[in-house]
Amino acid sequence: MSEFQIYHLAQLNFINNAIYTVVVVMLSALAFYLIRRREELDLPPYSKIIMTGFCACVAFFGIQVNSFLATTQKGLSYQLSELKTSGTAISSTAQNWIDFVGYGVTEGPPALAPDVPSIIFWLIISFMFIGGIWFPRPAKK
């Protein structure tokens, strides 16, 4: 595979990930809206369980999308470094990407795992979901 083909496949993955990121943002906004509406409509207690399940799915989907982004970035670096070790000359841009990501042939193919900032971000969002559903509301004045 040539360097151009590697870049082309990576860009398709980045576009795909961007579309899924938009969906995650819309689902997160929907989850926060539903949390607020559940409280306004004073729905029965079992609605808290349903909302918790929905919000857990949104958070899981979000962490998966971030995992695919991290894997695509590492995979691009891995494929470019694999091309370099095969003896094919690579561009300075490819070498800069390998140096920037710091992932090469010696690490092996990248696993589907999120990066630490993504984990922290989705833990905070999950806490906000759970807090909005289960924590008591302040008294209205």
Q: What is the pLDDT of residues 73-83, one digit of tens each?
A: 999 999 999 99
User: Smallest Cα–Cα separation from 123: which of 56, 54, 77, 45?
Assistant: 56
Q: What is the pLDDT of residue 92?
A: 94
Other beta carbons within 10 angstroms of residue 66's beta carbon come to: 22
Contact in structure between 110 and 74 (CB atoms under 8 Å):
yes
Q: What is the pLDDT of residue 47?
A: 95
Whether 141 is in a domain gets the answer no
Q: Give the domain extent around 117.
A: 3-134
Q: What is the pLDDT of residue 138?
A: 82
Share of the chain above pLDDT 70, in %: 100
Please say if the pLDDT value at position 2 is more than 80: yes
Q: Looking at the 3D structure of the chain, how many domains does it have? A: 1
Burial track 75-103 (b if 16+ CB lie within 10 A, e otherwise)? bbbbbbbebbeeeeebeeebeebbeebeb
Whether 139 is in a domain gets the answer no
Contact in structure between 88 and 68 (CB atoms under 8 Å):
no
Q: What is the pLDDT of residues 16-33, one digit of tens each?
A: 999 999 999 999 999 999
| Residue 77, amino acid | S
Whether 51 is in a domain gets the answer yes
Q: What is the pLDDT of residue 118?
A: 95
Q: How far apart are CA 26 and CA 106, in angstroms?
A: 39
Whether 43 is in a domain gets the answer yes
Whether 40 is in a domain gets the answer yes
Q: What is the pLDDT of residue 32?
A: 97
Q: What is the pLDDT of residue 11?
A: 96
Distances (CA, A) of 27 to 23, 58, 61, 82: 6, 6, 9, 38
